[in-house]
Amino acid sequence: MKDLKTEAEFREAISSNELSMVVFKTTWCPDCHFIDPFMPDVERKYEGRVAFYHIDRDDLPDLCSELNILGIPSFIAFRNGREVIRFVNKLRKSREEIEQFIDRSIEVANALPDNNG
């Protein structure tokens, strides 16, 4: 999972026609640490279909405010610079819930028109 440290890096990462999954976390969030052990396996499972990025909410508070990130960890899927779908709440997220969300994100993104055509 690539760390995005600036708003410019974020804008560049989400501008791709590829589905970009941005995970918003913080260092002090216990539910964020809960997902750490299994996220590398999740990333491998979706390799070639989803690009994963991480943003520490405390590093980019203005961007997170713009995106209305309230609960963490939050997952937002982007394609061609636009939000596709989000998984944002204040509850702990299980691996199964995260994978279901990623599957749904892929379905929704595939239903959208390509910007390349």
What stretches of 50-94 show up as alpha helix (H) in DSSP? 61-66
Out of 1, 15, 16, 29, which one is annotated catalytic? 29
- Indicate if 64 belongs to the active site: no
Q: Does residue 29 have an active-site annotation? A: yes
The one catalytic residue in 4, 14, 22, 32 is 32
Q: Output DSSP code: residue 54.
A: E
DSSP 8-state class, residue 46: T
Instruction: State both tokens at 79.
Output: 């394609």
Strands 19-25 and 74-79: antiparallel
Collapsing DSSP to helix, strand or coil, 39 comes out as helix
Q: Which residues are catalytic?
A: 29, 32
